[in-house]
Structure 1
Amino acid sequence: MSQQGASRAFSRIKGFADLFPPESEAFSRMESCGRDIFSRYGFAELRTPLLEFTGLFQRSIGAETDVVQKEMYTFADRKGRSVTLRPEATAGVMRACIESGLADARSGAHRFFTMGPMFRYERPQKGRMRQFHQINCECLGTESPFADAELIAMLWRFLQALGIADLTLKLNSLGCAACRPAYMAALRDYLTRLDADALCEDCRRRVQSNPLRVLDCKQPGCRALTEGAPRLLDHNCPDCRRHFDTVLELLARENITPDIDHRLVRGLDYYCRTTFEVVSGRIGAQTAVAGGGRYDGLTAQLGGPDAPGVGFACGMERLALLLPARAPVAPDFFIVAPDETARAQAFALAEALRGLGLGGELEYGGGSFKSLMRKAAKSGARFCCIIGPDESAAGRVSIRSMQSGEQVTLPQADAPARLAALVAASPTTPNHNG
């Protein structure tokens, strides 16, 4: 490597983003709101590894899905074992519950939420990165339709609490192991009578291997050809239909009215019965901001006890595109100490103020009084604390309101309590300089 090449600065990998404020603050806001809302419904936070054995996703997501076939970050570790960066969260949550003994249906329902990065190798675009972030909620151990409705209502409450509007809930039922085989046979029969050359390459393969995925194809030609395909709801058994109707009735009582989408099958093979998406028309072609459904049988598929479950995932990058803009809150204080001899006093004052719950900065780089006051104004702080040579010698500090210009000088020992009182009495203002 040349000397020039060795000294070249690194760049980030395509599809992997650095999140500075305000983007990082939007993510923090979503996480904080989620923790608040989900805890009201009895959900507790679970943290699972980013890396799992590849077979976990092959068996749970499905070998014929685009995720497994095209998008996973899979490699061999130093022992030659195939491992994968998680492309979604549910499989890892189920694996954790099986290992810890929580997948036994006799232990009752268990509710968990997870937050963190996922990884899929696909073309980066607006709201979709190769490292993306999700908020997931999973309810394991109950097959009641009340769990489905409660989960959807919780998701709706979460999105409303974030201030996100103009959303549409789409709903469908994928049936169960008893009724889906007959539907799959009817769908395969319908698809084989189509002009195969008019289908995309993926759909031609899926007609035999996994015909349900054909309905999920986004190619306009494939969607037009399958417009008259059999509908899942028309093939639901009586139990599945009662389950679906109960979910609809419970949502209606909460004034949540979904659109029935007969094409909605989701992109992963483990879903059954209730499946849903929340979509927005404000973020371009990638309209789904959240989605999920019921996955009864997934734990058994992964080698554990047969426990029913239902869950959803929210794409945080897409939610961030819809969050209402919010100006950052102004810092409480900015401390100016032009002389090095006063800086230790300024440091002690800053720590005392933070100990009282106030937030702000200490400028310890020095400079002229005029330049430091310009920095104080640029910070957007509500109050400026000044310890100049005179204040330092007298053990005092001047507190100036950056809005009114009023200033008071008092002993440094009294300053923290006085500033805390001034902050409490003054209105909180947005920081328009941030």
Structure 2
Amino acid sequence: MTAQAPHTEELLGRYERSLLGVFGRPQLVLDHGDGAWVWDVDGRRYLDLVGGLAVSALGHNHPALVTAVSKQAGQLVHVSNFFTSVPQVELAERILGITGAPEGSAVFFCNSGAEAIEGAVKLARRTGRTGIIAAEGAFHGRTTGALALTHKQAFREPFEPLMPGVVHLPWGDVAALEQAVGPDTSAVVLEPIQGEGGVVPADPEYLRAARRLTAEAGALLVVDEIQTGIGRTGSWFACQQAGVVPDAMTLAKGLGGGVPIGALVTFGPEVTALLAAGQHGTTFGGNPLSCAAGLAVLDTIESEGLIAHARAAGEHLERRVRDLGDPRVTGIRGAGLLRAVTLAGEWSAAVTAHGRDAGLILNPVASDAIRLAPPLVVTTDQLDLFVDALPGLLDAATEEGP
């Protein structure tokens, strides 16, 4: 007799007995996926509107990514950084091309967004200055250097004292930037859209002011495109919509389509020269497998027109949400396929729970906001499933009370 496959409750019990509880109890045990759909171990199907937190750019089981990773796994998975590989060189060249970086720019590959931020911090420190400016509401990661730039006190407090010299200014406040950026500032680090902060876009003028002020002060402008980059907002990078060229950019999440990879991009020879041989490194960063995945993601985004699709699908979603005319829905913000639906009450957790029961994976990014970051291959019909279900989900959530 064939042994029965384990089911959700059994696996969650085993999870709690074997994994460090930093994530709490998982909501589901997922087994496989296809496109924007995923199935749990009990066979239930869900529309994935979170995309692994903006990671699964091509959705699940995309043939181009599967083929690229399978081929590379059969050829060469890892080499130390005493050596390089064709995928590493080609992916670096492609990234420099889509960022529009000038001659003399360069890429450092790592394994995650937090590692990319750590590289940016070291880059900033090499200016000889120690002051770093970040924004209130910012999230840049949970390693200790990145955590110093992250604003949320609940994340920071258990691990303080953190790296000194970091100040957080009110988000979007140009006057505060003008007062704070000065001769001791090594870098200003900003997200074009604050993802974990609630999907709150920066005004283009704010980003342009940060570019002007850092240039005048001889400081670096570091744009964190970890969540917003790789086509998610309807352009390769969100800062491009403001016409801003930074001194450094951090990437991760969607770049590998689910295979771990991060990158720090330096713009121009002067910034690139700040980190010399031996001053930074990583064991796994830029391995052939992750770089082959990154190339497949970029190739597929281009060949399938997914940047234009992200822009059009996001606009469709915005229209549909606004057309609901539901007073419990106060708006929708963001760009492309990084969006937050804002609510008139603190119902997002309940809406998310009822959505999961209805086969929708959502993210309560704030108590009154639901984040959507679906795969870039999501269809407008699939987005309509969420919009059509939303009034009923709100009915169920509001009946429960606050």
TM-score for the superposition, normalised by structure 1 = 0.19
TM-score for the superposition, normalised by structure 2 = 0.21
Task: Look at both structures and tell me which one has the larger radius of gyration over its CA atoms.
Answer: 1
Higher relative contact order (CA 8 A, sep 6+): 2
